[in-house]
Structure 1
């Protein structure tokens, strides 16, 4: 009797423990639900419906397989020598909600793999009440990831608030989210240049602002701005960030020529001393550092500095000579600066050859385009392949709802991806720049400390540009 009472006591303890854990789970789930945003609550309810109805829906969509081989337990349990009924197997599904919809991970089965899930996406979208569903290979072998979005992330404006902390991964450019709400980022390690095009007011500068705000807290990165829209640093889109830059240049092509020549001198000095100071021929083998930072050269409205002026009067000839020399200097930075730590970002409205010379544009491996007016402008920004993907063309982004949406090629996969880039408020940009002003150092001065000699004369006037024949 004592043993029986002890067993019942132990059983009651297990039951109460189970009820306690169940109550704790219910409280956690309820708190999570109440703290969620209204959009997230809708997604949570959708996720519950998806889990409950998955086994039936999977069979209806052809995402199941019949196993005619009985298990050992079924064979033992079957009496009178009858053949056990075949089992219908359905892929296991794990669902996670977020603001845009749900993410789901499914385990593949024989004859139910990636292709079968992709074929079933229209039916899944209808059954799950989603705008669209995509299927990609999962993180593990034998797994697929399904992404269902209830609202279109491309027309849902987002805001990015910089943390003010150094980035966890150096030179990773977090752009935003794609049309399925999935994060999109571009690793810019070993990348010499980036081109960005798009109509005025559609998000080019804001996209660059996010990069600067995210990277500004790192002492291993230094910035220089060339803004072809304004004449002074306190004007224009970079007024809040200019205090984080070691140099700023306005729309004067002669001033730009002087500063570009200083950068090329710095590039040459780094090339001459990199093996002795870093022990490697490529800076990326050891990564940027506070003493040898990555120099990010932002050239906004690049056509201001490269425009091919036509005319026979002396003033026009001088402008044409400056433009040609500026293009030559930027070509030097893009083609020869990668291994010594230069990254050049060029933005303009149309990345055609008259705005960014093709000998510069075609060696920049990363290209983005916001809304464009013509197909030729889209091809100039993204290459001829964009003609084969008309649904992704930036020509379709001219609606005001798509302000902040860019197109770029998908790394490692064919086709193009559309990206909703977030807005960074001026007050946040000013806050980050002010908090990181103490990190500003001219890379030439840093190199002088390492080498013990002057490498760039930052005080002399700009030399005369080459003359052009009439």
Structure 2
């Protein structure tokens, strides 16, 4: 009897010789991912590490939390594969639970969660459950905003950014976009900006020592490195340029006046004449009727007039003696001239920043204050002062009311209307060391130029004769 030869044996590796390489690639990829995560964690600061753990917890618990909060939807329509699959006894496929997917980014203040929405679960549903999300994630607050078609951005703040010191060191570089002014960070630790394109006036109010002048000096230090911005200051707290809060930036100002009403009147007259000259020549020089359609330039700079302690220049004087009558006449004329700049300076590139303690009608005339589209208020003592600064709607937003910000921990914190959105937001203005402000002003002093002289260079020497400068019109 002849012995039979053994049957050849085959292994899975013979059929799939690439399998070890694929497994090795997966292992290497996983190892590389773990190394990246580990290095990122080790290089992070203490607070960011806590945020990384928080983000991991958010991702891990999200499927269950989403169901508990009703942030899921049931899809009863079979998929293509389900519709062609063989179902025993004609049993219908089980409906699917659709849970919004998410991804996370971390920083020292918390986590930013990007959510991809599902049908029936969108912005409104997430906003209604923001407080529940904050509780579940261990956050001080949560905000939900759209991040594009089918996407939401959830900002989960773990620690309070408004209570922590925040400093800014100017880098001396001109800003890339002069139509956007950086203010600081908001209550969600996100960058807060003012969109200044076509904005003619900004009103800043608040108690002394809470950050008004710091805000303005910070803005000057950011904008000064650009030759496309020129500054003038009227400071009602001092008499001379070397005094007070603007002494460090005086080299970067093309004009400065103190508390002298007559000197201020001359400056305001001068700027109204500039406004009229620009209005009469803008089409010929720029080829447009709105400077913002092209943006500021060194030849046609954005002119920023800062009027600090504005009530100094507008207060009503009562008395029959000649000196008082003279002051009353100057104050009334100052109000008329500044009204002209705020109402008509937008398209030619003139912005007026008015700062005062209480933005009531006796400090800033209502015909000026009410046409300033941007308002900020630091701490206030009374609700009436808050309403004067921010409008009646602030009564409906008690959390943002500046009356609640009188604690010393709120020095440098202001409330402002959310541009393009409903309601108000609070921002922390960064503190800029005076030495840094002085350094930037000194380094950019050579950029200072009189905007009227620049206009004459473009429009020609006949500008003075061709333009009607009657400011009483």
TM-score by length of 1: 0.91
CA distance in 2, matches of 1:10, 1:309: 93
Over 3 Å counting, the alpha-carbon distance change for 1:47 and 1:296 in structure 2 is: same
- Matched with 2:294 is 286
Over 3 Å counting, the alpha-carbon distance change for 1:159 and 1:5 in structure 2 is: same
Say if 2:414 is the partner of 1:399: no
Tell me, what secondary structure is at the counterpart of 1:338? coil
User: Contact 1:242–1:248 (CA<8 Å) still a contact in 2?
Assistant: yes
- Matched with 2:197 is 189
CA distance in 2, matches of 1:102, 1:62: 22
- Matched with 2:279 is 271
- Matched with 1:452 is 460
Say if 2:29 is the partner of 1:17: no
Say if 2:298 is the partner of 1:298: no
Per-residue deviation, 1:5: 7.3
Tell me, what secondary structure is at the counterpart of 1:148? strand
CA distance in 2, matches of 1:399, 1:85: 58
1:127 to 103, 117, 136: 136
- Matched with 1:112 is 121
Render the CA deviation track for 1:285-324: whole Å, top value 9, x for unaligned: 2222111111110111111111212222222222222211
Say if 2:37 is the partner of 1:32: no
After TM superposition, the structure 1 stretch with the greater mean CA deviation from structure 2, 79-88 or 446-455, is: 79-88
After TM superposition, the structure 1 stretch with the greater mean CA deviation from structure 2, 341-350 or 326-335, is: 326-335
CA distance in 2, matches of 1:101, 1:77: 48
Higher Cα Rg: structure 1 or 2? 2
- Matched with 1:243 is 251
Per-residue deviation, 1:431: 2.1
- Matched with 2:51 is 43
Say if 2:182 is the partner of 1:174: yes
* Unaligned residue ranges in structure 2 (runs of 5+): 1-8, 466-470
1:216 to 221, 224, 227: 224
1:162 to 165, 170, 176: 170
1:261 to 251, 269, 273: 269
Render the CA deviation track for 1:397-448: whole Å, top value 9, x for unaligned: 1111111111112222222111122111212212221221111111111112
Render the CA deviation track for 1:121-149: whole Å, top value 9, x for unaligned: 2222121111122222x222222221211
* Unaligned residue ranges in structure 1 (runs of 5+): 458-464
Residues matched between the structures, number: 458
CA distance in 1, matches of 2:158, 2:14: 54
How large is the RMSD of aligned CA atoms in angstroms? 2.5
Render the CA deviation track for 1:358-397: whole Å, top value 9, x for unaligned: 1111111111111111111111111122222223211111
Per-residue deviation, 1:78: 5.3
Per-residue deviation, 1:356: 0.8
- Matched with 2:450 is 442
Render the CA deviation track for 1:177-228: whole Å, top value 9, x for unaligned: 2222222212111111111110001111111122212211211111111111
Per-residue deviation, 1:235: 1.9
CA distance in 2, matches of 1:236, 1:351: 21
Tell me, what secondary structure is at the counterpart of 1:214? helix
After TM superposition, the structure 1 stretch with the greater mean CA deviation from structure 2, 117-126 or 221-230, is: 117-126
TM-score by length of 2: 0.90
2:99 to 86, 90, 94: 90
